Amino acid sequence: AQSVAQPEDQVNVAEGNPLTVKCTYSVSGNPYLFWYVQYPNRGLQFLLKYITGDNLVKGSYGFEAEFNKSQTSFHLKKPSALVSDSALYFCAVRVPWGGSQGNLIFGKGTKLSVKP
Amino acid sequence: ETGVTQSPTHLIKTRGQQVTLRCSSQSGHNTVSWYQQALGQGPQFIFQYYREEENGRGNFPPRFSGLQFPNYSSELNVNALELDDSALYLCASSPGTGGGDTQYFGPGTRLTVL
């Protein structure tokens, strides 16, 4: 079965330090990968996606993610964290075939806390 | 450009009742997907509508049903509400059903079932 794992429930980072939020996936074939951010009592905001091509993807608000096929990972990174980055981050995978092509499969989320 | 909007923002119902949630898709988008996000969990796919037809369904019972209208707005209907239906319901629109098409989410409807 297809699945997404975010192994850390929470990541704590000091402002100005680099941050990494981890994501691994288990699907057959080549998936499409996404990162979303959710602020309290809000919907999900799209950050970036990997479809094909360069393994390093750049997205909104200075975030980037690296696709690693051999490790089946898609970790989210940012060189210098801001307090305003504190939120809940979701990794998602889409399998572009089968009977439910619209299906985004989400991880459980990682809470990022950036301290001043 | 108007983003995805959902109504109502909050809703309180009792067990056994029926509820209808509404979603307006982003301009230019013809595909709407619905997700249920329980507290502390990632969103779970309910179903997707493309050009007024259901285009895929997750593991939800038939009492979860939907509609899409000619202007691509959509409704989610839930019959015979259960306590476990309490969740944030998210609607997402996209320009198509392609695997690489980004889904843009609305702010959600918080449903509480008492």
User: Over its length of 116 residues, how does chain A's per-residue pLDDT go in tens digits?
Assistant: 788 999 999 999 999 999 999 999 998 777 899 999 999 878 899 999 999 889 999 999 999 999 999 999 999 999 999 999 999 999 999 876 655 555 899 999 999 999 99
Question: Which chain B residue has the Cα nearest residue A111?
Answer: B40
Task: Tell whether B44 is within 8 A of chain A (Cβ).
Answer: yes
Q: Considering only residues B65 and B2, tell me which one the structure prediction assigns the higher pLDDT.
A: B65
Report the alpha-carbon distance of residue B36 to residue B46 in Å, rounded.
Answer: 7
pLDDT of residue A42: 80
| Separation in Å, CA of B75 to nearest CA in chain A | 17
Question: Which chain B residue has the Cα nearest residue A46?
Answer: B104
Pick from B40, B45, B107: which is nearest to A104 by CB?
A: B45
- Residues B27-78 have pLDDT tens digits of 989 999 999 999 999 999 999 999 899 988 999 999 999 999 999 999 999 9
Pick from A92, A102, A106: which is nearest to B56 by CB?
A: A102
pLDDT of residue A35: 98
Task: Tell whether B42 is within 8 A of chain A (Cβ).
Answer: yes
Task: Tell whether B30 is within 8 A of chain A (Cβ).
Answer: no
CB contacts of B98 in chain A (<8 Å) are 96
Omega prior to B8 cis, within 30 of 0: yes
Task: Tell whether B105 is within 8 A of chain A (Cβ).
Answer: yes
- Residues B93-110 have pLDDT tens digits of 999 877 788 999 999 999
Long-range contacts of B82-87, Cβ-Cβ distance < 8 Å, separation of 24 or more: B82/B15, B82/B113, B83/B15, B83/B113, B83/B114, B84/B38, B84/B113, B85/B111, B85/B113, B86/B38, B86/B111, B86/B112, B86/B113, B87/B36, B87/B37, B87/B38, B87/B39, B87/B111
| Separation in Å, CA of A115 to nearest CA in chain B | 22
pLDDT of residue A27: 83
| Separation in Å, CA of A18 to nearest CA in chain B | 25
